[in-house]
Structure 1
Amino acid sequence: MWKQTGEASTEDEHRIEAVLAQVGAWRGQTMRYRPVAGGISNHNWRVADAAGQAFFLKVPGRGTEMFVSREASNEASRRAHGCGVGVEVVEFLPAEGVEIFAFAHGYRASSNLDFMRGTVRHNAVRALRAFNDSPRLSLTKTVFEAIDEHLAQITQVGARLPEDIAQMRRCVADAQDALQAAGMDLVPCMNDTLAGNFMINAADELLLVDFEYATNNERAYELALWFTEMAFPVEIEQEMIEAYFGRLDRAAQARVNVLKGLADIKWASWAMVQEAVSTLDFDFHKYGTWKYRRARTQIYHPDWPVWLRHM
C-alpha cells in the first residue's frame, strides 16, 4: 500500500520519511513510498517522486553496521553498474548508510527455480565474471577474515555457538593454510549470491543487486557461495565451473568444495550474531543451525583432506 510523505504512522515509516527529506532533489516534493518484501538485513522501499519516477531505497537494519561498510558497498554498487551488470546508484547518504537506486523496470527478483534453466545459469556466470574481473575494490576481506570477525562478534554479543566449533575452527585454519600455500586470487566479489540478489527479466537477462558484503575475496568463493545457495547437483556445478574458468580441472573443483564449507560456516556465524541483534522478523537461529549442519557435510567429508591437497 502506497503512502505519501506526511502520512507516516509507524517507526519504519517515520524513518523512511526522514531519509527522503535529506535528498536535495526531492525537497519540497510530495513523495510516495511503500515497503518491498524480501531481504533479511534491511528495510527496503519503493519510492516515487512527484513526476512518478520510481526508485529503490534501502534503510539499514539494526546491527548491520557490525557487518557492512556502507562506503564499500556503495563503491561496489557503482562498480557493478559500470561493468554493465548492476543498477544505477542515483544517491548515497553516507551518514544514514542509505543507497538509492534507479528502479529496475521489467525486472523481478529471481528464485532458485529460475536457475534450473541453463540460459539463466550461464547469464549469471557472465555477470559474476564481469564484476569479478573488474579492478580491485578498496576493501579486502577474505572469507577467513569474515569468519574470524563473526566468531568474535558472537562472543561480544553472547550469541550461541555449535558444540563442535573448535573442530570447525581447525578445519577453517587447515583450509586457510592450504589455500594460501596454493595462492589466493583476490578479486571483487559480491559475497552474497543468493537467488534474490539476481534480478531477471522476461528475456532471462540478469542484473546483480545488493553489494553490502562486497569485498576483494578469493575468486572461487564467489562460485562456491553461489552453489551453496542454489543447491545445484554436482553435474551442474561442474558445468558452471567450466563456464566460468573455461576449463574443468581437479584444482578448481577442490577449491570450490572447500570454500562451500567455509561459506556455510561464515553465514551460519553471521546468523547467530543477527539472532542477538536484529529486530527483523526472521528465524536467524534456525537459518544458522541449518547452515552449520550443511557445512559439516563438506568439512567432515572423507575427501576433505584430498580437496585441501589439490587446491
Structure 2
Amino acid sequence: MTDLEALLDQVPALAGNPRTIEDLSGGLTNRNLKVTTPDGVFVARLNLSDSALLDIDREAEAFNTRAAEASGVGAPYVDFRPDLGLLVIGFIEGRTFTDVDLRTAGALDRVAIALRTLHSGPRFQNDFDMFVRQSTYLRTCVDRGFKIPDGYEDFSRDFARIQGALSVNPVESVPCNNDLLAGNIVDDGSKLWLIDYEYSGNNDPYFELGNCWTECGLDDDHLAELVTAYVGRESPALLARTRLRAVTSRYGWSLWGFIQAETRDDDFDFYGWGQERFDKAVADFRSPEFATWLEAAAS
C-alpha cells in the first residue's frame, strides 16, 4: 500500500488528501482502483499483463479513451502515465451490468443505442482485425512453446473461409470497443456507458455485436434481437455476418487465454477460459449451419 500511495502521489488528479482507495472487481489484465479525493472520484487502471505479448497498444488505448468520451458513451479521460503503467478516467456512478441484465426486456435495445453512438463517434487511433490478431497470437504461442489444445490449427482453413465470406460484402470500419463484456457496460439510470478501451480499434461493427453476444452467453434469439435493434430492420445477411464474427471472436480470443495461462502467476484459470472459447468455436466450425452462415453472409 505504501508503494501504491507513492505511485498515486505522482498523478496530480489523484494526489489530493484526504484520499480513499478501493479495489474494483473485474479486469483480468489490469488492477482497477476507485480513488476518491476532494477533487473528485476517479478510476486508476494499473497494467498487470505483458502488453506486448497480448498486442495491447497503451498509447492507442489512451487516445481511444478520449475519443470514446467525445462520442458520448465513454467515461471522462483524466490522465495517462505510460511511465507508471497507469490510465486515469472519471468514475461513472451507476450499476455495472451482468450477463443476466442483458436478458431483460429492452436491454439489448439500449445496448444497440450505445453502440451506434460509439460507432458514429470520432475514429480511433488504430485498427483492430481479429484475423490479424489471431495470427499474431498463434505465432506467439508456437514460437514460445505455449500450450494450446491439440488440433487448434486444424480449423485454420475454416477460419480462412470465414474471412473470405466476409470479404464479399465488406463494411466500413468504425470505432469499436472489441471487448464489450457485460462488466464493461454501466447503467447510470438514464443511459448506458461503455468502458475499458484496452483492445479498442476501428473494426467491423458486427464483430462488436458478435463478440458481445458470445461473451455475455446470450442465445440465438438474443443475437437476432441485438442485430435488428442495431441495424433498425431484420437482415439475414448481417445476422449471418454477426454470427460468423462471433466464431472469429471465440477462435481468436481463446489464444489470449492460453498466452495468459503461460505468463501470469495467479489463481485465475486462464487456460480453462481459453479452452471454453475454443470448444465453442469447434462446435461452430462443425455445425451443419456453418455453411449456411457463410453463404448468407456472402449473399
TM-score range, shorter chain: over 0.9
Q: CA deviation at 1:310?
A: 2.2
Aligned to 2:175, what secondary structure does the other structure show? strand
Distance in 1 between the 2:61 and 2:240 partners?
A: 30
Q: Is residue 103 of structure 2 the alignment partner of residue 103 of structure 1?
A: no
- Superposed CA deviations along residues 223-253 of structure 1, whole A, max 9, x for unmatched, are 1001102222222211211110112122111
Aligned to 2:106, what secondary structure does the other structure show? helix
- Superposed CA deviations along residues 138-185 of structure 1, whole A, max 9, x for unmatched, are 211211011111111212332211222222211111111221232243
Show structure 1 runs of 5+ residues with no match: 1-6, 9-13
Distance in 2 between the 1:281 and 1:204 partners?
A: 37
Following superposition of structure 1 onto structure 2, how do residues 146-225 of structure 1 map, counting pairs within 5 Å? 146-201=133-188, 203=189, 205-225=191-211
- Superposed CA deviations along residues 35-76 of structure 1, whole A, max 9, x for unmatched, are 222211111111122x26321111001313432111111122
Whether the aligned pair in 1 keeps the contact of 2:228 and 2:234 (CA below 8 Å) is yes
Show structure 2 runs of 5+ residues with no match: none
Moved over 6 A (4+): none
Distance in 1 between the 2:97 and 2:190 partners?
A: 10
Whether the aligned pair in 2 keeps the contact of 1:120 and 1:205 (CA below 8 Å) is no
Q: CA deviation at 1:217?
A: 1.3
Residues 25/126 of structure 1: CA separation in 2 closer, same or farther (3 Å cut)? closer
Name the counterpart of 1:129: 116
Give the TM-score, by structure 1 length.
0.89
Q: Is residue 13 of structure 2 the alignment partner of residue 22 of structure 1?
A: no
Name the counterpart of 2:295: 309
Name the counterpart of 2:227: 241
Which of 22, 25, 35 is the equivalent residue of 1:34?
Answer: 22
Residues 187/25 of structure 1: CA separation in 2 closer, same or farther (3 Å cut)? closer
RMSD of Structure 2 on Structure 1 (CA): 1.8
Which of 66, 71, 93 is the equivalent residue of 1:78?
Answer: 66
Distance in 1 between the 2:98 and 2:32 partners?
A: 18
Identity of aligned residues (%): 28
> What residue identity is the alignment partner of 2:99?
N
Name the counterpart of 2:102: 115
Corresponding residue pairs, total? 296
Aligned to 1:211, what secondary structure does the other structure show? coil
Distance in 1 between the 2:264 and 2:257 partners?
A: 10
Residues 55/27 of structure 1: CA separation in 2 closer, same or farther (3 Å cut)? closer
Which of 273, 287, 290 is the equivalent residue of 1:287?
Answer: 273
Give the TM-score, by structure 2 length.
0.92
